[in-house]
Amino acid sequence: MPASTIDHAFTAKGLTGSAGDPTYAGALSFMRRRYTKTIKGADAIVWGIPFDAAVTNRPGARFGPQAIRRAAAIFDNDPQYPFHRDITGELAVVDYGDCLLDTGDHRKTPGRIEREAAKLIKGGAFLVSLGGDHFVTWPLLKAHAAKHGPLALVQFDAHQDTWFDDGKSINHGNFVGRAVREGVIDAAKSIQVGIRTHAPEDCGIQMLYGYDVEEMKASEIATAIIERTAGAPTYITFDIDCLDPAFAPGTGTPVAGGPSSAKVFSVLRQLGQLDIVGADIVEVSPPYDHADITAIAGATVAQMYLGLLAERKARLA
């Protein structure tokens, strides 16, 4: 029996519950959640940051939020794998749309992202941000650290992002080093997973290289993350190039030799013990994608964040 309405993103009467839109039609909010600028009562907010002016190789991540939303349409209606639960039935999730940025003056970008992120998390909702290139994580970290104090960072990435920084440049390869130097993240409780390049410094952050991830079981990687973060407020940032290009070709700086999507998703699934206070998925570049492979992987990462949040809400109920 077809649903009585379509375009659930606009016609939904509440913040929970599945949509009846066909997978191939209807307004493409994230998982068909209601598009709204009213966040009262929301457990989680999905927010797009369409910015890619900080890339050092291939552009296109500004189209990432659109592609991730499109790919996420398939996650509605059925119980979401691997959580075996109706995430949107248990969790009040809204799609806040995108951050409006001044394309003529990128100096305004960090402050604009930070201020809006701070406003969104002020009431306690969990923010899932859809990038955009990896520079957007810098203002997101600042907003979350202002609320929670220095953060443990869990970074899934092929790159360390600790390159030299003058504190002012807008570059997707230096935000981690800047965050350590300014006390936004605690290096002693932070870990990078899937690294397959070398930067001049590690900033004291633990690294699991690509070959480590290849040799370790998913459970061993998850244990290493849990032990390293040691119960601290944790922010997860997932650069889609953490995955091998076979599983994520649509990204700006692909690096061969990475893990499969299945293995990394198994790691994410086992991070329920973490005190995750915010998360993002970045560097999805649709112009270099094929058959939405990368967008589907990116949407799955965001869905995993919401699944972990739904489980945490159920435990605390």
- Answer whether 88's CB lies under 8 Å from 33's CB: yes
Q: Tell me whether residue 289 is annotated as binding.
A: no
Question: What average pLDDT does range 87-114 have in this prediction?
Answer: 95
In 3D, which of 64, 46, 238, 29 has the Cα closest to residue 127? 46
For the chain, domains (ranges, CATH) are 8-316 (3.40.800.10)
| 169 has a pLDDT exceeding 80 | yes
Residue 76 pLDDT > 80: no
Using CA atoms, how far apart are residues 134 and 7, in angstroms rounded to an integer? 31
What integer is the mean pLDDT of 182-208? Answer: 96
The reply to whether 43 sits in an annotated binding site is no
Quote helix, strand, coil % in the chain, to nearest 5.
40, 15, 45
pLDDT, mean of residues 171-188: 95
Average pLDDT over residues 57-62: 96
pTM (predicted TM-score): 0.96
From the list 113, 73, 89, the residue with the least C-alpha distance to 299 is: 73
Q: How confident is the model at residue 3 (pLDDT cuts 50, 70, 90)?
A: low
pLDDT in tens, 239-257: 999 999 999 999 999 999 9
Q: Does 1 have pLDDT greater than 50?
A: no
The yes-or-no verdict on residue 2 having pLDDT over 60 is no
Provide the mean pLDDT of the chain.
95
pLDDT (mean) for 97-122 = 96
Per residue in 127-141, pLDDT (tens digit) is 999 999 999 999 999
Per-residue model confidence as pLDDT tens digits over 255-297: 999 999 999 999 999 999 999 999 999 999 999 999 999 999 9
Check residues 140 and 14 and name the one with the higher pLDDT. 140
Q: In this predicted structure, what is the pLDDT of residue 222?
A: 98
Structure tokens, 223: 């244990």
Contact assessment for residue 205 and residue 192, using Cβ atoms and an 8 Å cutoff? yes
Percentage with pLDDT > 90 across the chain: 87
Q: Is 134 annotated as a binding residue?
A: yes
Give the closest residue to 213 by CA, choosing from 168, 157, 144.
157
Q: How far apart are CA 48 and CA 67, in angstroms?
A: 11
Both structure tokens of 260: 């499969």
User: Binding residue per annotation — 157?
Assistant: yes
pLDDT value of position 269: 98
